[in-house]
Structure 1
Amino acid sequence: MKIFKLLPVMVLVFTLSAFSIVDEDKGYSVGDVATDFSLENIDGKMVSLSDFKKAKGFIITFTCNTCPYAVAYEDRIEALNKKYAVKGYPVIAIMPNNTEIKPGDSMENMQKRAKEKGFTFPYLMDKNQEIYPQYGATKTPHIYILQKSKNGNVVKYIGAIDDNYQDAEAVKEKYVENAVDALLKGEAIKVSETKAIGCSIKV
């Protein structure tokens, strides 16, 4: 009899627990401080944000070899690094997919793709798939702009690179460029969050 009386309470506890887990797993919001990581680069070295002593922030890009959306954006991601790394905002690319499901995203294939395209930015593997959930990334590509502060790397923008994945020449809104330009000028970012368009991250 006592068990039946406790059932509604137990259901409520489990329900609240479920909601709390969802909240914890949603990832970063604009204004949150992102924790550092240590991930393997295509050159075999481990890379952390703390390695970039002179950086003012970062353009964190979750991307891969196999998604057509990510491939469509490769040249634009490279252009972002060439434009902003020298200004203190380097691109840090992270491959988040499960390589058993997507063998085309293996480290060997990452190295091959980076060489073919001449990537000038770090291309890291989230081997244990621990980092992309912290960020809340769901797509490739999915962008997070971080700005260094005394409190850590603050998330300032989340979402898409621009408003046209199909045609770089037809882009009207360059979300990432606009955001980084605003940060460099000490201005507020007008659009701090957009919907990432791409392939789902394979778990």
Structure 2
Amino acid sequence: MKILYSLLFFVTTFLVSAVTPAKGYAPGDKATDFKLKSVDGKMYSMADYKDAKGFIVVFTCNHCPFAKKYENRINDLAKKYKTKGYILLAINPNDPTEQPEDSFDLMKVRAKEKGFVFPYLFDDGQKIYPQYGATKTPHVFLLDKNKIVKYIGAIDDNVDDANAVKEKYLENAIAALESGKSPSPETTKAIGCSIKMKR
């Protein structure tokens, strides 16, 4: 009987660990770099940007209505902060067999339609988003130049109307970094679509 209980415990533990997503990062953790293919056919990593003061890693996608509402804002952020030394890298974490609109070919179409000024990367094999702990699209991770996570969460407090935003969480976090302070808050709740995992 003891052997049976031990076997059941082992199997249950294995199954839970197999389906439980990685916890991901918290503020203060060092993030992993990545090398992912962008819609321009090139491979990108944070190591490519030796002089960067920090990185804005945004998990986003084509199909999600929330992600679409933030596309122009993400583009504007990329333009604004590149001149200040912060590099925005957008990553599509979704599996295209689960959500065909998020295929690499359609990412290229979307990037051209919207005039994206940032690398739009594909998390092929869904290896990166679990390491970061991204759960939504969009979901933002602000890193300093040493890849230390400084802020995680939403871009701002109003999905529907950019003109009605009262709290610019990401921009406030960058301003805190610029002044040598820790962002406050360090985390907010990401609002968006769930990431589509391969079944």
The TM-score with structure 1 as length reference comes to 0.89
CA, structure 1 residues 179+100, in 2 after alignment: closer, same or farther (shift >3 Å)? same
- Deviation, 1:15, is 6.5
State which of 36, 41, 49 in structure 1 corresponds to 2:38.
Answer: 41
Which structure: larger Rg? 1
- Deviation, 1:19, is 7.4
The one-letter amino acid paired with 2:165 is V
1:107-153 deviations in Å (ceiling 9; x for gaps): 2211111111111100000011100011111100000001123xxx1
State which of 177, 182, 198 in structure 1 corresponds to 2:171.
Answer: 177
1:167-195 deviations in Å (ceiling 9; x for gaps): 11111110000001110111121111011
The one-letter amino acid paired with 1:157 is Y
The 1-side partners of 2:67 and 2:84 are apart by 24
State which of 132, 136, 141 in structure 2 corresponds to 1:139.
Answer: 136
> How many equivalent pairs are there?
197
Are positions 1:164 and 2:158 aligned together? yes
> 5+ unaligned residues in a row in structure 1: which ranges?
none
Partner of 1:31: 28
State which of 182, 188, 195 in structure 2 corresponds to 1:194.
Answer: 188
The one-letter amino acid paired with 2:130 is P
The 2-side partners of 1:94 and 1:107 are apart by 11
Please state whether the residue corresponding to 1:165 is helix, strand or coil: coil
The 2-side partners of 1:29 and 1:17 are apart by 25
> 5+ unaligned residues in a row in structure 2: which ranges?
none
CA, structure 1 residues 104+15, in 2 after alignment: closer, same or farther (shift >3 Å)? closer
- Deviation, 1:90, is 1.4
Given that residues 56 and 140 in structure 2 are in contact (C-alpha distance below 8 angstroms), is that contact kept between their aligned partners in structure 1?
Answer: yes
The 1-side partners of 2:127 and 2:72 are apart by 27
- % identical equivalent positions: 57
The 2-side partners of 1:107 and 1:87 are apart by 30
The TM-score with structure 2 as length reference comes to 0.91
- Deviation, 1:72, is 0.1
The one-letter amino acid paired with 1:66 is H
State which of 77, 80, 96 in structure 2 corresponds to 1:83.
Answer: 80
